[in-house]
Each structure stands twice: as C-alpha cells, then as structure tokens.
Structure 1
Amino acid sequence: MISKSQVVVRYAETDQMGIAHHANYPIWYEIARTDLIKNIGMTYSEMEHMGVMTPLVELGCRYIGTAHYEDILTVEASIAELSPARIRFSYRIFKEGEDKPINTGFTLHAWVNAKTFRPFSMKKHYPDLYQKMESMMETDKK
C-alpha cells in the first residue's frame, strides 16, 4: 500500500533562495509515515500506548529537484522492508502536476519496548499488528 499525503511548502520552510530547505524533507516523510500507519487502523500514539516505540535508526534522502514556497507536494510512503526487529519505510515526493519525484528517501526504525527502550520482536509480541503491516507490503507487490 502506498499512502499519499499532501503538503504545501510554507514560507518558513524556504531559505534565502526561495527553495524549500533540505531539513524539511524528513519532516514531510514523518507526515506521510504517520498517515500510512493510520491506514492500518491505528495511530502512532495508539501504538505508543500499547507499549511500542519506533526510534529512528537510519535516514537516507536524495535531492533530485527543488520545491518552492506554495508548491503543492505529494509525499508517498510505503513499507519497503519489515522484520520482527525493524521496519523500513520508503518515500517519494512529487510536485503537483509532475510525474518524476523531486526527492526520494527512506527511514529505518527499530521496534522497542516503550518502558525499557529495549528491542523486541514485533511479530512475537504484537502478531496482529505485524500481520497488518505485512499485508500492506503484500498489496504493493501485487
């Protein structure tokens, strides 16, 4: 499943050249990732209340084009890899009306216990949630 979120570039997100600053892209990834998680029927805060945290382990970001003030962007997010210990999301950002992305990236997160912050097996401790995420990946492969 690919989740699509719209973002309008705000003035405060641009630099002196009028281009969206590079530090905003991971924030836009987070918006799309949060929307993707909602598609499995829960929110990030509900996962946290269950005792699941997803700290960032790695971030990759490739800048291909530019975004400017008031550009309308579509941020696509999907689950690229899933294991009992980790989840990798992939992202593509498009300007309205364009078919080639201006940015691609990924984030890698660990599954950790909210109280101990120790890694755990999502598949073992939350099999239903793991299965929902796994099925989201399978939809992309069809």
Structure 2
Amino acid sequence: MYKSITNLKVRYVETDQMGIVHHSNYYIYFEAAREDFIKGAGISYKYIEDTGIMMPLIETQCRYIEGAKYGDSIKIETTLEELTPVKITLNYNVIRESDNKLISKGKTIQTFVDKNNFKIINIKKKNPEIWDKLEKLK
C-alpha cells in the first residue's frame, strides 16, 4: 500500500493561547498531505482541475490525542482507505518527530464532480487516465 509522508514545522501563528496547535489547523495539515499523496500518482490537484474535475470534501474527522506545540516538527502519513469511481477516502496519522508519538488521526472523504455543474461524476468513465493513476496508489 502506498503511503506518502508530509513533513511540517508548527508555526507560532498556528497555536492558540494555550500554546498548542489550534484544532482547525489540522485540516490545513491534511490538505497539504492530500496534495502530497496525489503527487504520488504523478499528477497534481491543478492538473485534475484543469481537466474539469473538482474534488470537494464531503466528510472530515479528526481525533486529537495530544497537542502539537510551536516549533514541533511533525510528519503526516497519508494512506488510501478507499477509492471508487465516485469518491476517495484518505487516512492521516500526525506524528511528532521528536518522540515519534502519534498525536492525531484524521480522515477525509472527497467526491469527484464536474467543474461546470458540480454534479457527481464517475471519474473512471469521465477521465480514465486520472482513474488509472489514482488506482496505482492502492
């Protein structure tokens, strides 16, 4: 199974008054990790969008185990849970590098839609090339 790794350093602006990463920032981290994961297929979000396909989020979740702090180096391991012709589900493990501790787990589900009318499409039929590249990430 393909796994991408995204390395980030927690910036001061991402922390709250308690000195830990504000919960909303994990979704920004997941976005960066999704982009890296898709690059593993040899394509980019921009390329997919240029072909007339968008990938809106339809569900997200995050379990916070322990807070990351300013200056922490973190890595996000991203894996594919499910790929169908109409949606993709990704899992994320956020790990603090200093002690290799799992500090957060997340999941996102995205659907494939036509850029012009935002109707769900079957990507396997609409763009077999993209489908084939994404399938290689299984």
SS class of match (2:102):
coil
1:117 maps to 118
Cα distance between partner residues in 2 of 1:98 and 1:113: 43
2:9 maps to 8
Deviates more, 1:97-106 or 1:80-89: 97-106
2:95 maps to 94
2:57 maps to 56
Contact 2:37 2:78 in 1 (8 A): yes
TM-score, normalised with respect to structure 2: 0.95
Structure 1 moving runs of 4+ over 6 Å: none
Cα distance between partner residues in 2 of 1:107 and 1:23: 14
| Deviation of 1:43 (Å) | 1.1
Contact 2:53 2:114 in 1 (8 A): yes
Please state which structure has a larger fraction of its residues in helix.
1
Cα distance between partner residues in 2 of 1:58 and 1:94: 22
RMSD across aligned positions (CA):
1.0
| Unaligned segments of structure 2, at least 5 residues | none
| Deviation of 1:100 (Å) | 3.4
Cα distance between partner residues in 1 of 2:89 and 2:99: 26
Cα distance between partner residues in 2 of 1:97 and 1:8: 12
Percent identity of equivalent pairs: 40
Count of matched residue pairs: 137
| Unaligned segments of structure 1, at least 5 residues | 138-142
| Deviation of 1:113 (Å) | 0.5
SS class of match (1:102):
strand
TM-score, normalised with respect to structure 1: 0.93
SS class of match (2:107):
strand
| Deviation of 1:80 (Å) | 1.0
Per-residue CA deviations over 1:75-132 (Å, capped at 9, x if unaligned) read 1112210111111111000001333310001000010001111111011111222122
